[in-house]
Amino acid sequence: MATPDRFPLPQVTETTRKPEWLKVRLPHGDGYERVKAIVKRTKLATVCEEARCPNIAECWGGGTATVMLMGEVCTRACRFCHVKVGAPPPLDPMEPIHLAQAVKEMNLEYIVVTSVNRDDRPDGGASHFASAIRELRRESPRTIVEVLIPDFKGVEKDLTTVAEAKPHVVAHNVETVERLTPTVRDRRAHYRQSLRVLEYLKRRPEGLYTKTSVMVGLGETDAELEQTFKDLRDVGVDVLTLGQYLQPSQYHLRVERFVTPAQFEAYKALAESYGFLYVASGPLVRSSYRAAEFFMKGLMERERLERLG
């Protein structure tokens, strides 16, 4: 554990009123409007809109977007998430092709593909993910493809299906510290299982970059956060994003505290001391965050140039 004098963390103050630093401007700009028009015309389901992401204008205007596969109904009921829960519809076998065509038209530099949990499917939807990855890489070979996947119940065969399709980055979110996992996530989601998923993907021969995200403001302690950073690095996670949890409705978990920008900076320094390739930490940081994606794009470009000699 890091010593307090090495990384002093500002004192936490609790409030239920949304602070000034969480207010954002309405999205606008030519790049944003162009992507918005294509998304609307192609009926693409984007997390950017569904989750009302505060960074939508920055991402869409800068050539990044996050899309959701396999419908908008989830088989799990995590207590922080606003996605509908129930019996999902059948998968659309043409979805991977339509997704790739839309992304090609948007001319995106970076695409994040995520999904609801589909525990109703024999493979959790892993083969559908793999089809989408292959179509995206065929139609847009210059676009970096990141997938933010469910845990697939920890089944290695299904994780292999996704890995062998060769996304550039594979992400799976632990969401919170170990103690709070049973309260925050669905009962089928386990902290240690998520760590095993990330470790398995990192150790595979494809050489994938791995990424995860943690929300703060749910009642975690600084010591628990630090232990989480350590656990994640122990399984080889490359990129970490830290952001503020915001209660999506009165029926979801309440915010226990609003973490200040100064505290996020302290968490960033602490996490970086464990050796992550990149840490994005701030009140408005989300799983898919353009600064982290910009870093990955630069890293991969440097690797490409090194291979060329």
CATH of the domain at 253: 3.20.20.70
Answer whether residue 13 is part of any domain. Answer: no
pLDDT tens-place values along the chain, 309 residues long: 444 444 455 444 444 567 776 665 545 555 556 666 666 666 666 555 454 555 555 555 455 677 889 988 899 988 888 788 899 999 999 999 989 998 888 888 888 899 999 999 999 999 999 999 999 999 999 999 999 999 999 999 999 999 999 999 999 999 999 999 999 999 999 999 999 999 999 999 999 999 999 999 999 999 999 999 999 999 999 999 999 998 878 888 899 999 999 999 999 999 999 999 999 999 988 776 666 777 887 888 888 788 876
Relative to beta strand 144-148, strand 110-115 is parallel
CA distance 170 to 215: 19
Our count of domains for the chain comes to 1
Answer whether residue 17 is part of any domain. Answer: no
**Binding site membership: which residues?**
48, 53, 59, 74, 78, 81, 288
CA distance 81 to 173: 13
Answer whether residue 5 is part of any domain. Answer: no
Task: Please tell me whether residue 113 adopts helix, strand or coil conformation.
Answer: strand
pTM of the model: 0.85
Answer whether residue 148 is part of any domain. Answer: yes
CA distance 80 to 176: 10
For residue 187, what are the domain limits?
29-308
Q: How many CB atoms lie within 10 A of CB 23?
A: 9
Answer whether residue 176 is part of any domain. Answer: yes
Answer whether residue 14 is part of any domain. Answer: no
Answer whether residue 108 is part of any domain. Answer: yes
Q: Give CA separation, 297 vs 72, 169, 300, 303, in Å.
A: 29, 10, 5, 10
**Helices of type H across 77-220:** 95-106, 126-139, 156-164, 181-184, 191-203
Answer whether residue 16 is part of any domain. Answer: no
Token pair 């960074």 in the structure block, residue? 55
**Binding site membership for [4Fe-4S] cluster: which residues?**
48, 53, 59, 74, 78, 81, 288
